[in-house]
Structure 1
Amino acid sequence: MSVTRRNFAHLFAILLAGAATLAPMAAYAQAAEPDVTEDAPSVETTRQDDGSIIVTARRFVPDGAITASKTSVPLIETPQSVSVISRDQIDLLNFIDVQQAVRYTAGAVGENYGPDLRFDFLRQRGFIPTQYIDGLQAPVSSTIDNVGIDLYGFQAIDILRGPASVLYGTTPPGGIYNLTSRRPSAQFGGEVQAKYGTDDYKQIAGTVTGELTNGLSARLTGLYRDRDSQTDYVTAKRTYAAPAVTYQIGPDTKITGLGYYQWDKVRGDTNGFLPALGVLYPNPVGKVSRGINLGEPDYNFYRREQWGAGYEFTHRFSSALTFTQNTSWRDYDEYQQVVYPTGLGPDNRTVSRANFPSSEKSKQFAIDSRIDANFATGPLEHRLLAGFDYRNYRNQAAFAFGGATSIDLFDPVYSATPIPALTLGAPYLDVRLKQSGLYAQDQIKLNGFILSLAGRQDWVERTSYAFPPVTKTKDDKFTWRVGGTYVSEMGIAPYVSYATSFQPIVGATFDGTLFKPTEGKQWEAGVKYDARGLSNDIKLFATAAIFRIKQSNVATLDPRAGTGGVPANAQVQTGEVTSEGVELELVTRIHEQLSINASYTYTNARVTDANDADQLGARLPATPKSKATLFIDYIKATGPLAGLGGGVGVRYLSSSWGNQSNSLPLVSPATTLFDAALHYDIPGWRLAVNGSNIFDKRYAGRCTPQGCFFGQNRQIIATVTKKF
């Protein structure tokens, strides 16, 4: 299905004109929904007159996610799977990073390379999701699909599963995740927090917000971390600061400025690339230590500096018509020099190594402008969204490669003489990407039935400067989504939807034909329940979904590869990937005492078409077929132990492939991990001790042909938080 630029622009103009014409029909206009990013304090501890302690977590159970529809439509009315990990959950369960935060979430798997100190590696429905920050794509590099921004600076993580191109443009079929920054509040408040734990984990952090003057509020969030790793001789330091200012220009106009700066330095890091014999399989020589460092601790380091600045502007023309604009400028710069292991010798203990310094730089400007209108045509109530977004992104990457001395797997002796750093070569990647998109969405309500229709036209221009001559490619694509939901008076909402996606890829066939964007399509059906018929002190949101995704135009091995002068690694776009499965999720908080996070995920993600028999039928990496999780937490409210609580959790992950190969699959076995928490709350204070993998299970997080990575060992972290 395709439309011309002129036709879509004409359709867009008609929708905008219709919204402007119909919005004044106040007799039919819906009342404005509450802001789903409400910035007032949500977790509060109070002592009642009878001495009982009540820990109120207003948004532990989510009811909205602006990422899902770019509007404040409730989650139960959205015909797509969405999980919201709120700041309440992050604080009460003491998650440190996004990888940990998805442990009890359906459809997403983190920690795919073990306890990485730099990045958040995720998979959603078998695919690597694209990271967004405040609704705009992060300036991800050519090799890593996230920027490793610290979780402490954000008030929510929205996990949007399934194709999202209709609102966000070039995205993978498995979905996206969006981080929403902490916002200023006119109400004074904040916290100071200290952590100490396993591997000499030390952290001090805090946030403070309040009104500076009439109509002007501000927030400042900061963090400093100094920690070691489960890998020997590895240390990591991080500094993070995020200022935010909100100016209430008038009763209907508001602008919020958002900024952040983060600096990281990791010394001695390899974080893995260990041989499979010793991690995935027994090594006949002996047991390999989980802390083994096969790099060069005095030579290896990773350095990163990144910053972002932008704003969110909203103007409410009436209760039925609102304009919103998000803008950001972001800069990302990293450099690493690393000696890392590359292979195991026939004696099963001598490990060869390589020297690999590299750098990556990204700069990006992004803007998204949209109109949100409520109006009615006869008995039909409309929620119309129409917008335009634009992104200008530049990415440069360079590396050098050289040999290094070998090392003993069981008794490493590091080089006594300094290793000279290699000079980086010319950039092997220097690409500018310009993307613009027009989109429109109409959510039509008739009593309890809601029909959602959305369409988007994208234009993408890529210019490569790495090797002369300069090359330029252009792609355009129309994506769409249709879904239906029925919300009953009991809060039960069955739904069904169909959506498409596309994502440009870099590359060409042997004869020089540039690759087309990969395309995805998904059917999804499910049911949601928000427990609106239960008492007010029972908050619950449950979802169940089944889905089937097909991704086409996937690069696969050229059938002529290795013959007739065709390179052995030549590729063509005849591949197909299919992902299908079931997702169940429950988040509940009862009487502000009992909290439950539970999920089950079944994902069968595999290659369904490929020229290479070794690929055909292979499972997608880092995607266990089954993931089952449960965390139960209870706080005692009365008696001498009022405010004392604790929780236990269990996580089961079935086996998962580390590579797409039928002949030599590297399969990490199934594992079951246990977590626990102990905490004490009194007004103004919270003391907590959280443990993950408390029985210290030794397991392979993932194995690839380049090496294996141990999963996170037992981690115990104590936290003291002073709220004010």
Structure 2
Amino acid sequence: MQSLAFRTTALWTTLFALTFAAPLHAQENPEAEDSSNTLRTTKDGNTIVVTAKAYVSDSSLSANKTDIPLIQSPQSVSVISRDQIDLLNFIDVQQAVRYSAGVTGENYGPDLRYDFLTVRGFIPKQYIDGLVAPSTTTIASTGVDLYAFDSVEILKGPASTLYGSTPPGGIYNQTSRRANDEFDGEIRGKVGTDDYYELAGTLTGPIVDGISARLTGLYLNRGSERDFVDAERIMVAPTFSFDIGPDTALTVNGYYQKDIIDGEMNGFLPVAGTLRPNPNGELPRSVNLGDPSNRFEREQYAIGASFRHDFSSNVSLLSSIRYNDYDEKTPQNIYGGGGFTNPTDPSQPDYFRTIGRFNFTYTEEVEALSSDTRIDAEFETGALTHKFIAGVDYRRVVNVADFGFFFDPQPIDAFDPVFTPIITPAVLYPTSFNNQRLRQTGIYAQDQIGLGNLFLTLGARQDWVNIANRTTNTDTDQKAFTWRAGLNYVTQSGLAPYVSYARSFEPVLGIDAVTNEPFKESSGKQFEGGIKYDGRTLGGNVDIFATAALFHIRQTNVVATAPSTTPVFGTQSGEVESTGIEMELAARISNQVAFNGSYSFTDSKITKNASNPLEVGEPLPVTPRHRLALFGNYTVQQGMLGGLGLGMGVRYSSKSAGSLPGPFNPLVYNADASLLFDAIVSYDTPKWRFAINGSNIFDQRYVGRCASATGCNFGAGRQVIGTATYKF
């Protein structure tokens, strides 16, 4: 790896070159967004005011692909803004959803590579700037760094009408920082527990008349709660905005990220000594049965463009396109697995101590091209108003993945690990795991029809999907029609009751073992009803947005696998249901008090599985029935302590199943319930912000998940990070 000094010097040389090249005058840019550096501090005499104008969001482009306010959207949406991210010091999306309803993160503990999430019991699909991210064959996350983005939006429930193939639980969309036509920026440094060191910055402003730019960069070097782990990351994200004319704008943006992680990040720990007692005592949370010479390498880049042309004040054309290249490899991944080698004879010294070792090597390359082009129109027909969109989107994804799996005859002592050399295989990735190309084309339309304060939203979509599997030389065509409808009424007081119905679909690969026919697409449907409240009607410096929702999701045509000779095969006999209640609140009052609160009750279960009746009635993995999270922050505005901020948060999660029962996994282990506390101390001046953020400050030890008797992971322990930010 290159040295820290070399990389940081190169990064900051580029940043400051852009700084001094940028003229300090502003040019009108109809496409430019407000600066993403919105957590601002001003001083008037002895009064310090910290403004966070985007802390409470009132809109989400993800929900409707047009500028319909959240209060008029008949569906639950959680928006974590850049202001919230900065105040609570979230370092990845897994942490960012801690105070959101219906969303569970950190499902494998504090993973350094990916964002593991579930929404209403289902794994969501990741989007970036409204276009699908190139997730790998096995992981629905690209692990892009949160610092490059302005917000994270979680659209809950089926979203296929606008986005094509999506899971029934929903999607999450990350919105990139954009260029601004006013000079603005920051430099930020972080130091924290587990050898956390980070240097980052973002800078934006006009270059010449009609062209603005932003450059965001980050260098990160950190360890882990586990021993023998060292991770490095470099990220650079440039973007340019062009004012082609008074009615036309073009934005071009790029993204580059490289990750190198030495050591085993998560590993597979046994249930005895983590979730359950071990005669030798508890395993320490820092234990790492993987090898220090393990290595994970990932390099990804993207280049995209978005174009907008206004034909009139009421009709616009919007088009976006992005190319992604994602490569990851694990040339060595030695881990402890298979359980204890001696769980029966207490007279032997290896009784509940030694564990077998395996080496799982993996490589994958993903190329993806995605686009979305639509017409956005507003018009009236008599007493009715219309916000209408119609468009077509396309995606082409090629995944090539190979792996190797090797057994090491030398076990390791879980309580006193000694890492003996393992034989490196001559061929690292001897077996093909996946080699397929997916093409999907969808046409869609949606109309929001308004009659006074009553709004009816109707949408429909047709998709065509082709999947070519080059390993099996099979070619599968699937198609699906999806639609959604919603009705809501917005009162003058800011209350808005709503009801909605939506459908989703996902392609399924393979042949049904019972019918010998190609699998059909899996489909989902959801009924949702609730009420929203926009407290901006109260006036003054009061921003409040609250949502309460009831939902019921049913997914059908789920492939239920059955044990057999290799390969494992299945039939589409599975059905899943998820029913729940969600309440969420975000508030910012008088530029002095910030508050977030959420509660979720989720009752998920398998309702049908002819191949494995043991699953019927069992909850979906990593889906706690109860989640409660509260956070409050207060900033002193006057006197000697002006600028001092204090915050406290509490998060409760009930136990959750780590897996579904089956012939290969007959016992289900429920992860611990957890009660965690967070705290913030900060001090703001007009140019500087200093903060110390602590999560799980009492360092509660708990197991986040046990996917099997040999696959347990500890939940995130105490993390304390100090941050110093200088604002231009």
Q: Same fold (TM over 0.5)?
A: yes
Map 1:484-503; keep pairs closer than 5 Å. 484-503=487-506
2:525 is the counterpart of 1:521: yes
Q: Aligned ranges for residues 297-696 of structure 1 at < 5 Å? A: 297-298=292-293, 300-336=294-330, 337-342=332-337, 343-345=339-341, 346=343, 347-404=351-408, 405-416=410-421, 419-420=424-425, 422-467=427-472, 470-510=473-513, 512-557=516-561, 569-611=568-610, 612-661=612-661, 664-696=667-699
| 1:547 CA drift (Å) | 0.1
Matched, 1:45 2:49: no
1:532 is paired with a residue whose SS is helix
Once residues 355 and 426 of structure 2 are traced to their aligned partners in structure 1, the CA distance between those partners, rounded to angstroms, is 21
| CA distance 1:631–1:72, shift in 2 (3 Å) | same
Residue 323 of structure 2 contacts residue 368 of structure 2 at CA under 8 Å; is this kept in 1?
A: yes
Q: How many residues align?
A: 682
Match of 1:114 in 2: 109
Cα distance, 1:392–1:685 mapped onto 2, change above 3 Å: same
In 2, the alpha carbon distance for the partners of 1:352 and 1:52 equals 63
Secondary structure at 1:473's aligned position in 2? strand
Distance 1:475 1:303 in 2: 35
Q: CA deviation at 1:426?
A: 4.4
C-alpha contact (below 8 Å) 1:270/1:340 kept by paired residues? no
SS in 2 for 1:401: strand
Post-superposition Cα deviations, 1:560-587, rounded to whole Å, max 9, x if no partner, equal x65xxx7794311011000000000000
User: In the aligned structure 2, how far is the partner of 1:206 from the partner of 1:216?
Assistant: 21
Q: How many angstroms apart in 2 are the aligned matches of 1:421 and 1:109?
A: 41
Residue identity matched to 2:642: A
Determine if contact 2:31/2:241 at 8 Å carries over to the other structure.
no
- Cα distance in 1, alignment partners of residues 276 and 571 from structure 2: 35
- Aligned residue in 1 for 2:346: none
Partner amino acid for 1:592? N
Paired residues of 2:31 and 2:249 also in contact (CA < 8 A): no
The CA distance in 2 between the partners of 1:333 and 1:233, in whole Å, is: 24
Amino acid in the other structure paired with 2:41: T
Secondary structure in structure 2 of the residue aligned to 1:92: helix
Quote the offset at 1:513 in angstroms. Answer: 2.2
Residue 215 of structure 1: how far off its partner (Å): 0.7
Post-superposition CA distance 1:128-161 (Å, at most 9, x none): 0000001000000110001000000000100000
| Amino acid of the structure 1 residue aligned with 2:602 | T
- After superposition, where does 1:30-429 map in structure 2 within 5 Å? 38-39=34-35, 41-48=37-44, 50-298=45-293, 300-336=294-330, 337-342=332-337, 343-345=339-341, 346=343, 347-404=351-408, 405-416=410-421, 419-420=424-425, 422-429=427-434
Letter of the 1:406 partner, please give it.
Answer: P
* CA–CA separation in structure 2 for the residues paired with 1:452 and 1:171: 20
1:422: how far off?
4.5
Q: After TM superposition, give the deviation of residue 664 of structure 1 in Å.
A: 1.4
Cα drift, residue 339 of structure 1 = 0.6
Deviations, residues 326-369 of structure 1 (Å, cap 9, x unaligned):
10000000001201111222221110111111101100111100
Checking the alignment, whether the CA contact within 8 Å between 1:35 and 1:72 is kept in structure 2 is no
Between the aligned residues of both structures, percent identity stands at: 50
Distance apart, 1:535 and its partner CA:
2.2
Q: Return closer, same or farther for 1:474/1:418 CA change in 2, 3 Å cut-off.
A: closer
Using the size of structure 1 for normalisation, the TM-score is 0.92
Report the equivalent of 1:31. none
Q: Distance in 1 between matches of 2:56 and 2:400?
A: 41
Measure the CA separation in 1 of the matches of 2:548 and 2:520: 34
Deviation at 1:557, TM superposition (A): 3.9
Contact 2:267–2:290, Cα closer than 8 Å, also in 1 = no
Separation in structure 2 between the aligned mates of residue 438 and residue 37 of structure 1, nearest angstrom: 28
**1:327 alignment partner AA:** I
**2:5 maps to which residue?**
none
- Give the direction of change, closer, same or farther, for the CA distance of 1:622–1:105 in structure 2 (3 Å limit): same
Give the distance between the partners of 1:420 and 1:557, measured in 2 at CA. Answer: 31
Q: 1:37 Cα shift?
A: 5.2
Secondary structure at 2:206 match in 1:
strand
Write the letter of the residue equivalent to 1:220: L
1:20 corresponding residue in structure 2: none
Whole-angstrom CA distance in 1 between matches of 2:498 and 2:440? 32
Structure 2 unaligned spans of 5+: 1-29, 344-350
Greater shift after overlay, 453-462 or 653-662?
Answer: 653-662
* In 1, Cα distance between equivalents of 2:292 and 2:276: 26
CA contact (8 A) 2:55 2:84 kept: yes
Structure 1 position 466, deviation (Å): 1.4
Distance 1:424 1:641 in 2: 60
Shift of 1:533: 2.5
Q: CA deviation at 1:517?
A: 1.2
- Mapped partners of 1:198, 1:537: distance in 2: 37
**1:279: how far off?**
1.1
- Given that 1:36 and 1:66 are in contact with CA atoms closer than 8 Å, whether structure 2 keeps it comes out as no
Q: Report SS of the residue matched to 2:63.
A: helix
Q: d(CA) in 2 for partners of 1:333 and 1:41? A: 31
Q: Deviations over 1:84-141 (max 9, x none)?
A: 1000100111110000000000110100000000000000000000000010000001
Q: Is the 8 A contact 1:270 1:338 kept in 2?
A: no
Q: Is the 8 A contact 2:253 2:305 kept in 1?
A: yes
Distance in 1, matches of 2:150 and 2:426, equals 41
* 2:706 equivalent among 703, 707, 711: 703
Assess if the C-alpha contact under 8 Å between 1:357 and 1:421 holds in 2: no
Amino acid at match of 1:331: D
Task: Identify the range of structure 1 (530-539 vs 403-412) with the bigger mean alpha-carbon deviation.
Answer: 530-539
Once residues 444 and 640 of structure 1 are traced to their aligned partners in structure 2, the CA distance between those partners, rounded to angstroms, is 54
- CA 1:608–1:36: 2 relative to 1, 3 Å: farther
Q: 1:417 to 1:463 in 2, by over 3 A?
A: closer
**Residue identity opposite 1:643 in structure 2:** G
- Taking only aligned residues, the RMSD between alpha carbons, in angstroms, comes to 1.5
State the 1:666 CA deviation.
0.8
Q: TM-score, normalised by structure 2?
A: 0.92
**Cα contact 2:233–2:259 (8 A) shared by 1:** yes
